[in-house]
Amino acid sequence: MAGITLEQLAKRYDDAVQAVFPLDLSVEDGELMVLIGPSGSGKTTVLRMIAGLEEATGGSIRIGGRDVTTTAPRDRDIAMVFQNYGLYPHLKVRDNLSFGLRVRHVERQVIEERVAEAARMLGIVPLLDRRPRQLSGGERQRVAMGRAIVREPAAFLMDEPLSNLDAKLRIQMRNDLVSLQRRLGTTTVYVTHDQIEAMTMGDRVAVLDHGVLQQVGTPRDLYDSPCNAFVAGFLGYPSMNLLPGTLSTSSGVPTVTICGFELSVPMDRVPVEAGGDPRAVVVGLRPEACEEARSTRLAPTGARLSGLAHRVETLGADVVVHLRFGCTSPDPGTTPPMVDEVGTEGTAGELVARFDRRTSTREGDRLDVVIDTDRLIFFDPGTGDALR
């Protein structure tokens, strides 16, 4: 097994497009690291540089302490699983599994043992004599995984391997893949644009945007303590509400004004950078930190907002309610541009709340919402950085 270390790794194309800006990232031995970001964020380019399929134009790559920055892909001791499976259609499953070992002239007995073990782990023993066209999408993906496993590499690299599967099968394969990775203990870098995959699979998650590494941490760290508004708005469904507001501490009792409502802020949530004068902020609030006033479990210190339910989405166990307010900004016409750039569902005059499925709220209802002010996060409206 081996860890992977990227030091100032960068990629710049001949047409002067900077696909990946210098980034530092360490993947521990046996860890499952997920790279996530929107299309064009550079996550697949990073993976391909680790694999040697893209040439790095800056920095270094170390696998197991060995510098492989200029090493040929076949000599990096990695196995890659692609989105399109990459199976040979004319070969049976057992031959697809053994192909990589045969071209490396591994002994026949060793090949048979590894193929049998991988097929047993993946539950594809009955499929060994079939060809890829006779398999379902999930079965093909298991074969692709088996082909990587038999190599017994130092690391697995996976490029959105589940994206071609239907929703139900994707959940099953996601669970199977995590269980398999933990059983093998092989260092794994997994690329996805699916935040649910990232949050449920990764030991740690690295978020990229426009080629820049934004934040690295456990799924819980990224969800509860995003370093900036992009990470806050990108992870979680529905997205974190990001509302322009004004924070004031001059009266001795900290308050924040959002959408025309003044809310008391717990002292331990006031950013160090706030100072004493009112200052513009972007207020972050998760939808699940909002409760209906008529059924709230929050303490009396919770802050209350009133709005119109203009859209109600039933998700089964939960109901997502989109509330609109009468104003669009604490200071009309000065909505920070950052709010529109993060891709959040919440806008200056709208709050998205997640209620229990037993709610009686319907579209067109006016209702009061109590928010948990202990969960407020403040961001700088200019840079988008979290204020600590």
Angle subtended at Cα 171 by Cα 168 and Cα 174, rounded to the nearest 5 degrees: 145
Q: Quote the DSSP letter at residue 240.
A: P
CA–CA gap between residue 278 and residue 262 (Å, rounded): 13
CA–CA gap between residue 26 and residue 39 (Å, rounded): 23
Kindly list the structural domains of the chain, giving each domain's residue range(s) and its CATH number in brackets, ordered by start: 4-232 (3.40.50.300), 239-379 (2.40.50.140)
Q: Please list, in sequence order, all residues whose beta carbon lies within 8 angstroms of the beta carbon of residue 15, skipping any fewer than 6 positions away.
A: none
CA–CA gap between residue 280 and residue 277 (Å, rounded): 10
Q: What DSSP string describes 298-363?
A: S-TT-EEEEEEEEEEEE-SSEEEEEEE-S-S-SSTT---HHHHHS--S--TTEEEEEEETT----T
Check residue 329 and give left, alpha or beta (phi > 0: left; psi -120 to 50: alpha). beta
Question: For the chain, what's the residue count?
Answer: 388
Q: How far is CA 388 from CA 40, 207, 225, in A?
A: 30, 20, 10
Q: Please list, in sequence order, all residues whose beta carbon lies within 8 angstroms of the beta carbon of residue 74, skipping any fewer than 6 positions away.
A: none
One pLDDT digit (tens) per residue for the chain, 388 residues: 689 999 999 999 987 889 999 999 999 999 999 999 999 999 999 999 999 999 999 999 999 999 999 999 999 999 999 888 788 999 999 999 999 899 889 999 999 999 999 999 888 999 999 999 999 988 998 899 999 999 899 999 999 988 888 888 888 889 988 999 999 999 999 999 999 999 999 999 999 999 999 999 999 999 999 999 999 999 998 999 999 999 988 777 888 998 888 888 888 888 877 666 788 999 999 999 998 887 766 655 558 888 899 899 998 889 999 999 864 333 433 433 333 333 333 344 789 999 988 898 999 999 889 989 999 999 999 999 999 8
Q: Tell me which residue of 353, 87, 378 sits closest to 225, measured CA to CA.
A: 378
pTM reported for the whole predicted model: 0.87
